[in-house]
Amino acid sequence: MCSLWIAVVFAVSVALSGCATRYNFMAGISGLVEEYYAMYPSIEVDLALVTESETDDIKAAGVEDYFAPDSMIRGKIAPFTMFFSDENTVPVSILPKDEMWFKWMKKKPRNLMLIASLPPEADPPSPDPRMLFVPVKKKVPVQNMYFEIEPKKVSQIAIKPTDPQPKPPANTEGAGVQPAQK
């Protein structure tokens, strides 16, 4: 009886883990942003898993309306918001075990959405490259996904993003390290 119970629990846990994709997610800001704008502007980047209907609503609203203070669509999807600026260029990671993935999966999403509040172009292309929608893959237990915020768009990349402004090593003087002799 005990072995039957263990087999049932194992089968259910395998079935449940295979039904919903979760992501090992990382997003960062490209060093090209600073070159393009002569600084790192303050940028909000929203991440969420969204349904087909939510995808259509977001695309129809556009980036400026989506990020407006009274945006109903933004409130409805309950995104995870990342902030990048001159003071914060460190990539953001979200692990597969984070509770947000489980909440979003309950609504049977169709797309992973990333939207960046990058400054608008004078004549923006269509579709707006500041919005990225990646189809959700079914029955993949964990998937690595890496993204980078570039001067005019959000891009999916193949490798982990890095901090374009790495911090200098901590001062080692007085920690048993002798300064170089001249």
> Which CATH number goes with the domain that contains 37?
2.60.40.4150
Per-residue model confidence (pLDDT) at position 122: 82
- Bridge-based pairing state of the strands 43-50 and 111-116: antiparallel
Does residue 85 form part of some domain? yes
Q: What mean pLDDT is reported for the chain?
A: 83
Structural domains of the chain, count: 1
| Percentages (nearest 5) of helix, strand, coil residues in the chain | 30, 30, 45
Return the amino acid letter for 56: D
Tell me how crowded residue 66 is: count the other CB atoms within 10 A of its CB: 23
pLDDT of residue 63 exceeding 80, the answer is yes
Residue 134: CA count within 13 A, CB half-sphere: 19
Does residue 13 form part of some domain? no
**What confidence category does residue 141 fall into, taking pLDDT thresholds of 50, 70 and 90?**
low
Does residue 95 form part of some domain? yes
Beta bridge partners of 48: 113
pTM here is: 0.79
Does residue 6 form part of some domain? no
CA dist 60 and 65 (Å) reads 9
Render 82-98 in DSSP notation, one character per residue.
Answer: EEEBTTB---EEE-TT-
Does residue 12 form part of some domain? no
Does residue 115 form part of some domain? yes
Does residue 124 form part of some domain? yes
First-to-final CA distance of the chain: 78
Does residue 167 form part of some domain? no
**What confidence category does residue 129 fall into, taking pLDDT thresholds of 50, 70 and 90?**
very high
Range of the domain at 56: 20-157
